[in-house]
Amino acid sequence: MLNVSITDVFENVGMSYHFETKESYDNIESMEIFISKCSELEGRNIFIEDGTLIVLEHTDYDYKVRLDSGGDGDFFHHRIDTDYYVD
């Protein structure tokens, strides 16, 4: 389904992650799924958590990464977009 680590996210800012589910999920739920499947990600890495928006921080990097959850056609196809977070 989804094979991504927090290191992948930080080293590939600008990338979008696409995945499918067998059940219908809204954008908030798809963000929760992405976060739960992202290996090495811990609660201390979450700087901001606001539904479909999450900002991650990591001690090995001098920048934060913004994650935005959105649909990818329907409630079974999901997309997480990444970008640099600007305060």
pTM greater than 0.75 (yes/no): yes
| 65 pLDDT above the threshold of 80 | yes
Residue 67: count other Cβ atoms within 10 Å of its Cβ: 23
Shortest CA distance to 79 belongs to which of 24, 27, 13?
27
Residue 43 has phi, psi (to 5 degrees) of -55, -35
CA–CA gap between residue 68 and residue 75 (Å, rounded): 16
pLDDT of residue 2: 79
pLDDT of residue 75: 93
